[in-house]
Amino acid sequence: MKTANLYVRVSTDEQAEKGYSQRNQEEVLRRYCEIKSIQVGKVYYEDHSAKTFNRPVWSKLLVDLRKERGQTDLILFTKWDRFSRNTGDAYYMINLLNRFGVEPQAIEQPLDLSIPENKMMLAFYLAAPEVENDRRSLNIFHGQRRAKKEGRWVATAPVGYANKSYENGRKYIAPREPQATAMREAFQELAQAKFTVMQVYQQAKSKGITCGYKNFWNMIHNPVYCGKIIIPKYKDEDEYLADGQHEPLVSEGLFYQALDFINGKKKRKGTKIVSLDILPLRGFLDCPKCTRKLTGSASKGRNKYYYYYHCSAACRCRFKADTVNSYFEKEINKLRIRDGYEPFYHEVLAKAFRLKSNNGEYSQKQIIDEIKVLNAKIDQAREMFMAGDFNNADFHAVKSKCENEITSLEKKLPDIIQTSRVVDQILAAALSNLKKLNISYKGYDITKKRRIIGSVYPENVTFDGYQHRTVRDSDIVKNILLINSRIGTKKNWTSSELSDLSSVVGVTGFEPVTLCL
């Protein structure tokens, strides 16, 4: 009497769509063995794809056959696609089993492989499911590509979005809070180029982001956040961006500004040090004895912790954190705008902005000029290609690179134009915050406090125990102190005096705008 091992394999989609359950296959195989008087040995259950033989249960089956050589005559399965869906791999495995003295056989598609002509039928049985799989995969691929061209997201929703469905079953993605707000703020921080990507990730994580850093890095490169869907290169179609049907979290201009910083086209604006809430000046203070930077830490007392700014060198200089913070708050109070003078400051700063940026037209013109240069490069490459100096691959490489840069520049134009239009609103918000700066500062979190400190002091501060001294104040601070010192003696300012003041207020003078965030 022959002995057979039974091999039962399903995959998830087949079990759901065609009913190839393991129980059904086993029943059919056992009934066949009973009719043919074949003794059943072991039964192997597999739930992996048959595209390759790299399957855990099949590997175990081969190990058992080596150990029990000569004890098994047959490997039975229902159809040849249960055995394999790859013709080349199937022929190799059949030869291997024959060396073990084992014959593979499909009970519903029986073949005597000792007859050469039957190998043609075997090829058909193996190739038909493979062709079916390839056709299904191709249909899915083209369906997804068509959906992407229509602006639909066809995968798991990215961080900040959630997968949802309309009543008719059509899928879409929508912002999910608080992750959506955390991603918006992450792009804003990256565009300002004040923190590293890791620091921005840590801030976003504290606000609700649950993904890992690598996933976050990939996400911030994805234009889905500015309302675009990537259509990958396929055959003769180049890669391009399609307008998405979902709600964008950030503008295209902000997205590409953040991308410039991530890709190294935009330098960081200073080093940012993470600090405790009670040590906002950590990293901004210089030691009055040895000029090294003061750090901050806590010292454990009998009942509580006491915080100090201290030097790590041998000079052992240190100050109580409460004292230093209190003196700084007094310095902040000096920058408060006096009542009734908001229109005056607004006029000065608005005029300075117009003088420096010409209402944004200079920046806009600069970008347009860069676009013209890139278009000229494409034209030059086309001429070299026509002359035979460039081959087809070189021309398309230059063309693709220039077009990508043009797209990036074009996306920045709307934000530049919009900035010049809303400058009055930005100034109103900034001046409102400056008016109550001393009160707002105490209520801000550590991140906003350190932004204010960095805006007030472009260079480090030295504290001697009584006052803060710095080599250079920011332009906006110098002008506020100047105006406040002259308010008591003169209130009627002439146009020429306004011009003198506005000319010394540079672009960096707008840093307190960050106070309205």
CB 335 within 8 A of CB 477: yes
Domains of the chain: which residue ranges? 3-134, 175-262
Residue 107 DSSP SS3: coil
Instruction: Determine contact, residues 468/461, Cβ cutoff 8 Å.
Output: yes
The mean-pLDDT minimum among 105-114, 269-278, 297-306 falls in 269-278
Give yes or no for residue 453 having a pLDDT over 90. Answer: no
Mean pLDDT, rounded, for 167-189: 90
pLDDT digit string (tens) for 388-437? 888 888 888 888 888 888 887 877 766 666 665 667 777 777 777 777 77
pLDDT beyond 60 at 494: no
Closest CA to 509 of 437, 442, 434, 449: 434
Q: Looking at residues 444-459, what average pLDDT do you find?
A: 75
Give the pLDDT of residue 363: 63
Is 281 in contact with 451 (CB distance < 8 Å)? no
Cβ pair 385, 392 in contact under 8 A: yes
- Coil, strand or helix at 484: helix
Do 142 and 149 meet the contact criterion of CB atoms below 8 Å apart?
A: no
Residue 13: CB atoms within 10 A of its CB come to 11
- Work out the pLDDT band at 32, boundaries 50, 70, 90: very high
Q: What local confidence, expressed as pLDDT, does residue 269 receive?
A: 57
pLDDT cut 90: percent of the chain above it: 15
Q: How many of the other CB atoms lie within 10 Å of CB of 71?
A: 13
pLDDT digit string (tens) for 132-143? Answer: 778 888 888 888
Q: Rounded to whole angstroms, how far apart are CA atoms 419 and 359?
A: 9
pLDDT band at 76 (very low <50, low <70, confident <90, very high): very high
Q: How many CA atoms lie within 13 A of 441 on its CB side?
A: 27
Q: Is 288 helix (H, G, I), strand (E, B) or coil?
A: coil
Contact between 296 and 321 (Cβ < 8 Å): yes
Q: How confident is the model at residue 179 (pLDDT cuts 50, 70, 90)?
A: very high
Higher-confidence position of 414 and 58: 58
- Rounded to an integer, the average pLDDT of 143-171 is 89
Give the architecture (CATH level 2) of 175-262: Alpha-Beta Complex (3.90)
CA-to-CA separations, 320 to 190, 278, 395, 435, in angstroms, rounded:
34, 11, 65, 29
Residue 294 has pLDDT above 90, yes or no: no
Q: What pLDDT shows up at residue 443? A: 76
Average pLDDT of span 99-123: 87
Residue 38 has pLDDT above 60, yes or no: yes
pLDDT at 225 over 90: yes
Beta-sheet pairing, 468-470 with 103-106? unpaired
Q: Which of 130-139, 332-341, 465-474 has the weakest average pLDDT? A: 465-474
Is residue 4 very low, low, confident or very high in pLDDT (cuts 50, 70, 90)? very high
CB 434 within 8 A of CB 512: yes
The answer, yes or no, to whether residue 326 has pLDDT greater than 80, is yes
Bridge partners (DSSP) of residue 75 are: 5, 104
No. of helices (H) and no. of strands (E), the chain: 19, 14
Confidence of residue 175 (pLDDT cuts 50, 70, 90): very high
The whole-chain average pLDDT of the chain stands at 79
Residue with tokens 């454990």: 300
The answer for residues whose C-beta is within 8 angstroms of residue 132's C-beta and 6 or more apart is: none
Section 151-170 average pLDDT: 89
Query: Does position 360 have pLDDT exceeding 60, yes or no?
Result: no
pLDDT at 58 over 80: yes
Bigger pLDDT: 303 vs 142: 142
pLDDT tens string 342-359: 777 777 777 776 666 554
Q: Which residue has the higher pLDDT, 44 or 126?
A: 44
Higher pLDDT, 168 or 417: 168
Task: Output the six-digit token pair for 463.
Answer: 């504290």
Mean pLDDT of 265-271: 59
**The domain 3-134: what is its CATH number?**
3.40.50.1390
What pLDDT, on a 0 to 100 scale, did the predictor assign at position 271? 47
Expressed in percent and rounded to 5, the helix, strand and coil fractions of the chain are 55, 15, 35
Top pLDDT among 143 and 447 is at: 143
> What's the pLDDT score for residue 438?
64
d(C-alpha 10, C-alpha 131), whole Å: 18
